[in-house]
Amino acid sequence: MDNITICRCEEVTLEDIKNTAKKYNCTAREIKLRTRAGMGYCGGRTCRPIVDTVMEHVTGEKPGDNIPLKVQPPVRPVSLSTLEGKENEK
């Protein structure tokens, strides 16, 4: 059961989270930073509720304790024309 993937973007399993918590005696925030759970491409939009629940069971912290785990969108959007390299063509 520990091989269940919790964060698909960063490929973090339940075992990764448990091992990190045991090895470093981490808070929920530290586990997130060490494993990158919830910090992938989706910014935690997909896995945030699961990550919060797992962190609560592993560390005993309820979401919102200390520094909360948060969802953060990309810094700024990029248009498709920019990605395609056509931003200056007109």
Contact 28, 41 (CB under 8 A): no
- Inform me whether the pLDDT recorded for 40 exceeds 80: yes
Cα separation, 70 vs 19, whole angstroms: 22
- Inform me whether the pLDDT recorded for 45 exceeds 50: yes
Pairwise pLDDT comparison (62 vs 40), residue with the higher score: 40
Burial of 51 (0-12, 13-18, 19+ CB in 10 A): buried
Identity at 56, one-letter amino acid code: E
Pairwise pLDDT comparison (86 vs 49), residue with the higher score: 49
Kindly report the CA angle at 19 between 54 and 44, in degrees rounded to 5?
A: 40
Write out pLDDT tens, residues 55-84. Answer: 888 888 876 645 555 556 666 777 788 878
